Structure 1
Amino acid sequence: MLGSHFNTIIIGAGISGLSSAYFLSKKNKDFLIFESSKYLGGTIKSKKIKNFICEIGPNTVLMNNDSVKKIIKENGLLNKVLYPDEKKNKNRYVLVNNNLTKIPTSFYEFLFSKILSLKSKISLLFESFASRHTKNVTVADFIKKRFGNEFHDNIIEPFLTGIYAGDTSKMSARHCLKLLWSLEQNYGSVTMGLFKKKFKKPSSFNFPNGLGELITTLSVNLKEEIRLNTSVIKISKHGDLYKIKTNDNRTYTCKNVISTVPAFTLSKILFDRKLSLELKNIDYSPIDVFHFGLKKKNIRDKVNGFGLLTKKNDKKSFLGILFNSSIFNQLAPKGFELFTVLVGGQRNRNLCKLEPKLLQEIILNELNQLINHSGPVYMSNHYRWKKGIPQYNLKYDYIEDHIKSFLDKNTNFYINSNFYRGISVSDCISKSEFISKKINRN
């Protein structure tokens, strides 16, 4: 059945799709958004359970680029933005001898911190003497060469676990350590680069009812353009136009395509067989997300901070724990604390195959010991992402070249997904504005 012609068709109604539509709509609304599920938001899912605000996907967004600031301000959300308790937000923890240990945030704290040995602290002074890399390497190789094994194992590995849930012995330094890689390449040394450039740490934020408020707000003025429960099953190219076939047996034509779906989805519907095969090589880490609402009076070891990240040597079943209500007290009812526990990733992907109740028992036991909690669990929730976070591994250089080649050959086809040019929500919003401006100029 023949559909209609549109200037632009957006595939996927997550944050990338909806923000692309928002920026496009500033000039025209000659577009459609196809979403395969009955829900909007993609990986952004906020759920209210017993007055706890639980984030199934991203827990915060960084206010680190103009596109994010615009979309918040122009949609009347500026007065709803919740910033974390600044003092507590600075407290990020790792485990040292199974004890919560704060990552130092000042030179004085660093000197007396138990995270690194004296030998490792002294070796950091010689980072500027390490030679510049002439080709891309793994994160593990990059950090160990410049800062030493201990710095990698105790600081970098836990930190990147919280972002990618990946394996640093496979991850691409150029893609996963963009800032450090850039400083080394431009200044010959990360340390020298940090001295010469001034950096302002961006704020993270949320909303009173979770990040889902952003999704709801963006969708209000896009109701006519959104098609829920509509999967794209084939994309083909005919001259300068693209044909989009959907699961209701309709075929649409358009000048521009913005694909915001995961690599494994795009690979099944794309007309370019070569790129489809490459996209299948992008690995996604599985993630199990647990939420626990606990009574404050039953927690003996109070925690004040953003969260805890673990490393392989800690031998924990979880990757990290977010102390949600510590930095955003609005996320839990009075007298309670909210914890989000992340499990799986490249390190423990087999745990994501366990029966959820059994896995919850294991995780809860480790959490109880860590914070010295006794008593019943007031609220619990679980969600399993079978394919959660795309991995920017060393072979990604090769895949990225194929993506660039495809986009060069196929004018007006755009990829705005977290497997290409940035994994964070703020990255995706920034890419949305860039792409939309380009389309609106044509």
Structure 2
Amino acid sequence: ANRRYVVRDGRAVALPGSPLDFFTTPLFSPAAKFRLLAEPFIGRAAQEESVAEFVRRRLGQEFLDWAIDPFVSGVYAGDPARLSVRAATAKVYALEREHGSLILGALKKAFKVRKAEVQTTPVGHMFSFDRGLGQLIAALAARLEDALHLDTRVQGLQHTHDGWQVNTSQGAFVAQKVVLAVPAEVCAALLEPFLGVRVQPLREIPYPPVMSVALGFRREDVAHALDGFGVLIPAKEQVTTLGALFSSTLFPGRAPEGQVLLTVFIGGRRHEDVGAWTDEAVVARVLADLAPVLGLRAAPLMTHVQRWPRAIPQYELGHLERIAALDEAMHKLEGLVIRANWRDGVSVSDAIRNGLALASVMRDFSVQLSDFD
């Protein structure tokens, strides 16, 4: 399922997976491919750029339109003209900052890996659980047992002489350290009594709506081979749907024998109005957008719409400066820690990595305190 498709001119085209595939792919014109030869000679930017500005400057318009734009839609449901390249695609930006070139930087990193005789392909792989990723959360909740308090709204914080008091709808809790793992606007409300207007940038972080639409079909009613990860639809195609995962290809047991499951995404930063549509309108739109791309020959056997009214925080221009200013203001609030997906990455893997790093810090803090017990 390593193959990924991008729609161009109404047709799903596989992204090139090798140098030979790149030179023969119809996804980019010969002129766009030739344009890449200039990339190592382009200087660094003098100011912050959007993802669109960065890619257009270094790789050209076609690579923005047919590669990066759909990638941004797939990860952020965002607008590359608004997202900060430093904040949203930090690893790509680092290649320019450290090596002066994306191509040369990627080659140097690949050479170092080979020289160290380390595996050059990703060591991780796509995975889920039998009952979906929600099974991970259920397992964590079961591990916490009575320490987990659900349906408990935090109403405010109080700084005490030995830590913090968290006032909630179910009473007060006292702790030496408190982690705010909450959406940006909730964090702003909790911090405002201490930081005043300095929390305003948190309220300005956009959270566009995204809908996830599950579609079940008989295998014979979908012409496409569904032999890959999924398909992304660039904005240049002028359709509303962002893309689809081939869920029953990726994970076994997601559809009955002889049937297939697609997970489709619609909405995002450039189509926020979709959040107000009815379920019927959403399903009708994704079917109309995908029918010519995947060769849908009949109505789906099942549909399910999952709404995320405030889905993915957008790391737009100025984002890192806003976070840095907040961190500076937080220094006086000892024992209060922020850990959320509106900073340092939006993916599940980012959340797990950042959570483990924070847990390590918190554990060390607890060990240090035990020295005084």
Give the match for residue 229 of structure 1: 151
Which of these residues, 256, 260, 274, is aligned with residue 181 of structure 2? 260
Give the match for residue 356 of structure 1: 279
Give the drift of 1:239: 4.1
Give the match for residue 74 of structure 2: 162
Question: How far apart, CA to CA, are the structure 1 residues paired with 2:13 and 2:219?
Answer: 21
- Give, as a single letter, the amino acid of the residue that structure 1 aligns with 2:259: F
Which of these residues, 194, 219, 224, is aligned with residue 141 of structure 2? 219
Give the match for residue 339 of structure 1: 262
Greater share of residues in strand: 1
Give the drift of 1:184: 0.9
Question: How far apart, CA to CA, are the structure 1 residues paired with 2:299 and 2:26?
Answer: 34
Kindly indicate whether the alpha-carbon contact (under 8 Å) linking 1:91 and 1:102 is maintained by their aligned counterparts in 2. Answer: yes
- Asked if residue 120 in structure 1 is aligned to residue 32 in structure 2, the reply is yes
What are the ranges of 5 or more consecutive residues in structure 2 without an aligned counterpart? 111-119, 366-373
What whole-Å deviation, never above 9, does each CA across 1:28-77 have from its counterpart, x for those lacking one? xxxxxxxxxxxxxxxxxxxxxxxxxxxxxxxxxxxxxxxxxxxxxxxxxx
- Structure 1 outlier segments of 4+, above 6 Å: none
- Give, as a single letter, the amino acid of the residue that structure 2 aligns with 1:337: V
Greater CA deviation, 284-293 or 429-438? 429-438
- Give, as a single letter, the amino acid of the residue that structure 2 aligns with 1:301: H
Matches within 5 A, 1:125-164: 125-164=37-76
What whole-Å deviation, never above 9, does each CA across 1:2-35 have from its counterpart, x for those lacking one? xxxxxxxxxxxxxxxxxxxxxxxxxxxxxxxxxx
What whole-Å deviation, never above 9, does each CA across 1:283-330 have from its counterpart, x for those lacking one? 112101110111112223332111111111101120111111122232
Question: How far apart, CA to CA, are the structure 2 residues paired with 1:219 and 1:205?
Answer: 20
Give the drift of 1:393: 0.3
- Normalised by the size of structure 2, how large is the TM-score? 0.91
Matches within 5 A, 1:48-197: 89-197=1-109
Q: What is the identity percentage for the equivalent residue pairs of Structure 1 and Structure 2?
A: 28
RMSD of the TM alignment (CA)?
1.5
Give the drift of 1:200: 3.7
Question: How far apart, CA to CA, are the structure 1 residues paired with 2:177 and 2:121?
Answer: 37
Greater share of residues in helix: 2
Give the match for residue 74 of structure 1: none
Question: How far apart, CA to CA, are the structure 2 residues paired with 1:151 and 1:314?
Answer: 14
Greater CA deviation, 128-137 or 367-376? 367-376
Matches within 5 A, 1:417-436: 417-436=340-359
Give the drift of 1:411: 2.2
SS in structure 1 opposite 2:103?
helix
- Asked if residue 319 in structure 1 is aligned to residue 242 in structure 2, the reply is yes
Give the drift of 1:359: 2.0
Kindly indicate whether the alpha-carbon contact (under 8 Å) linking 2:209 and 2:310 is maintained by their aligned counterparts in 1. Answer: yes
Kindly indicate whether the alpha-carbon contact (under 8 Å) linking 2:15 and 2:27 is maintained by their aligned counterparts in 1. Answer: yes
Which of these residues, 253, 266, 284, is aligned with residue 330 of structure 1? 253
Kindly indicate whether the alpha-carbon contact (under 8 Å) linking 1:343 and 1:352 is maintained by their aligned counterparts in 2. Answer: no
Give the match for residue 172 of structure 2: 251
Give the drift of 1:231: 0.7
Instruction: Provide the aligned length of Structure 1 versus Structure 2.
Output: 353
Kindly indicate whether the alpha-carbon contact (under 8 Å) linking 2:241 and 2:285 is maintained by their aligned counterparts in 1. Answer: no
What are the ranges of 5 or more consecutive residues in structure 1 without an aligned counterpart? 1-88
What whole-Å deviation, never above 9, does each CA across 1:56-102 have from its counterpart, x for those lacking one? xxxxxxxxxxxxxxxxxxxxxxxxxxxxxxxxx22111112100101
- Normalised by the size of structure 1, how large is the TM-score? 0.77
- Give, as a single letter, the amino acid of the residue that structure 1 aligns with 2:333: N
Larger relative contact order (C-alpha < 8 A, sep ≥ 6)? 1
Give the drift of 1:224: 1.4
- Give, as a single letter, the amino acid of the residue that structure 2 aligns with 1:316: V
Give the match for residue 80 of structure 1: none
Kindly indicate whether the alpha-carbon contact (under 8 Å) linking 1:414 and 1:435 is maintained by their aligned counterparts in 2. Answer: no
Give the drift of 1:240: 4.9
Kindly indicate whether the alpha-carbon contact (under 8 Å) linking 1:263 and 1:279 is maintained by their aligned counterparts in 2. Answer: yes
- Asked if residue 281 in structure 1 is aligned to residue 193 in structure 2, the reply is no
Kindly indicate whether the alpha-carbon contact (under 8 Å) linking 2:283 and 2:303 is maintained by their aligned counterparts in 1. Answer: no
